[in-house]
């Protein structure tokens, strides 16, 4: 069996603990347009690290600087101990990448693509093993243009892993995929991490970051707003919990006196209650005590979209 990344690397250059990406004051400008403005971040070995933010926030430019695909205007960057601007070729032999605008010729077949990419690396995984590992064997002779969105992403992941990289960069990997294909792709990303690689994931999908990432850096207007685990960021934002249900002729004055309730609003028969702590438990118990048992009672917990809104004053989806 071919060795995993963790088994293959040894010594300081392939340390599977500690920090594999160190960025201090990263800046990238195009004339007067500053795309990345003083970014500081650290990626630890073996984690899925997410850069989350709206389109145009500077996420892609940041990871392109980390890979040496764009020369930075300022700051210090080290990936696996190497400066991407000074040691780009050496670094690319140890990293993998799926770019935001990835594409292949329409007539190129899966097997041909894997063989072509493997020839560019001395330590490439056997092509047949790549096909088996990523479920591409049955699609071997199919041209790129005939692949579904999910199959294309499976191929791009396999191509990014041809050289058994220590760090893999995925940029908007699931854009354009249907929900089923998106979740299947998430499973593939987890497998990349479980095989021993560190993953840097660029995304504007809040749900994707919450489901996949061990830690997340929220990016806005070229800067890192905050970094932490998804649960830490939600707790730090202190966004209110919400309870919604239908209650014709609701007694808003009485609801506002229920423990943990901060505000109550109504639109027609629909009621929204905001608060903290055990809001849902107190509200449900109080309603039941009055014989009110709404069938559509729902609890809405804060998420990374609420974090972004609380920190920037803007909607992440916007």
User: What is d(CA 132, CA 127) in angstroms, rounded to the nearest whole number?
Assistant: 9
Say if residues 98 and 72 touch (Cβ distance below 8 Å).
Answer: no
Pairing between β-strand 215-220 and β-strand 223-228 as defined by DSSP bridges: antiparallel
Q: Give the range of the structural domain holding residue 124, as residue numbers without chain letter.
A: 5-235
Same domain flag for 59 and 139:
yes
CA atoms within 13 A on the CB side of 257: 3
Q: Is 246 found in the same domain as 221?
A: no
Instruction: Tell me, yes or no, whether 288 and 229 share the same domain.
Output: no
Is the residue at 59 inside a domain? yes
Q: Is residue 314 part of a domain?
A: no
Query: Any bridge partners for residue 244, and if so which?
Result: 272, 298
**Both tokens assigned to 284:** 């449900």
Co-location of 265 and 285 in the same domain: yes
- Enumerate the β-bridge partners of residue 76: 24
Distance CA 104, CA 145 (A): 8
Q: How confident is the model at residue 17 (pLDDT cuts 50, 70, 90)?
A: low
The kind and range of the H/E element at 77 are strand 74-79
- Cβ atoms of 4 and 194 within 8 Å: the answer is no
58 close to 35: Cβ distance less than 8 angstroms: yes
* pLDDT surpasses 60 at 249: yes
Q: Specify the number of domains making up the chain.
A: 2
Q: Are residues 172 and 256 in the same domain?
A: no
Rounded mean pLDDT of 276-283? 92
305 vs 294, higher pLDDT: 294
Please report whether residue 316 resides in a domain: no
**Residue range 67-124, pLDDT digits in tens:** 999 999 999 999 999 999 999 999 989 999 987 767 889 999 999 998 988 887 777 7
Given pLDDT bands bounded at 50, 70 and 90, which one contains residue 15?
very low
Q: What is the CATH number of the domain that holds 294?
A: 3.30.70.100
> How is residue 3 annotated by DSSP?
P
Beta bridge partners of 16: none
pLDDT band for position 318 (cuts 50, 70, 90): low
Instruction: With beta carbons less than 8 A apart as the criterion, state whether 238 and 222 touch.
Output: no
């Amino acid at each position: 069996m071919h060795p995993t990344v963790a088994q293959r690397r040894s010594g300081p250059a392939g340390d599977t603990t500690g920090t594999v990406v160190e960025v201090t004051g990263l800046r990238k400008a195009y004339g007067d347009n500053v795309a990345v403005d003083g970014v500081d971040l650290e990626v630890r070995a073996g984690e899925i690290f997410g850069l989350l933010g709206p389109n145009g926030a500077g996420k892609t430019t940041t990871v392109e600087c980390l890979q040496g695909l764009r020369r930075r205007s300022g700051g210090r960057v080290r990936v696996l101990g190497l400066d991407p601007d000074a040691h780009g070729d050496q670094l690319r032999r140890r990293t993998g990448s799926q770019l935001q605008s990835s594409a292949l010729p329409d007539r190129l077949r899966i097997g041909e693509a894997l063989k072509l990419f493997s020839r560019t690396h001395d330590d490439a995984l056997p092509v047949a093993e790549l096909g088996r590992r990523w479920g591409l064997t049955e699609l071997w002779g199919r041209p790129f243009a005939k692949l579904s969105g999910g199959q294309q992403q499976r191929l791009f992941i396999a191509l990014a892993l041809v050289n058994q990289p220590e760090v893999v960069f995925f940029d908007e990997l699931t854009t354009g995929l249907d929900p089923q294909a998106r979740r299947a792709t998430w499973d593939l990303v987890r497998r990349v991490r479980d095989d021993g690689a560190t993953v840097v994931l660029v995304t504007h999908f809040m749900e994707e970051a919450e489901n996949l990432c061990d830690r997340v850096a929220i990016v806005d207007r070229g800067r890192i707003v905050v970094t932490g685990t998804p649960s830490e960021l939600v707790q730090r934002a202190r966004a209110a919990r919400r309870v919604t249900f239908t209650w014709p002729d609701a007694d808003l004055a009485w609801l506002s006196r229920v423990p943990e309730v901060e505000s109550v609003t109504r639109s027609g028969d629909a009621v929204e209650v905001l608060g903290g702590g055990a809001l849902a438990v107190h509200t449900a118990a109080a309603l039941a005590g009055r014989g009110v048992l709404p069938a559509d009672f729902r609890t809405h917990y804060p998420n990374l979209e609420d974090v972004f809104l609380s920190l920037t004053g803007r909607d992440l989806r916007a």
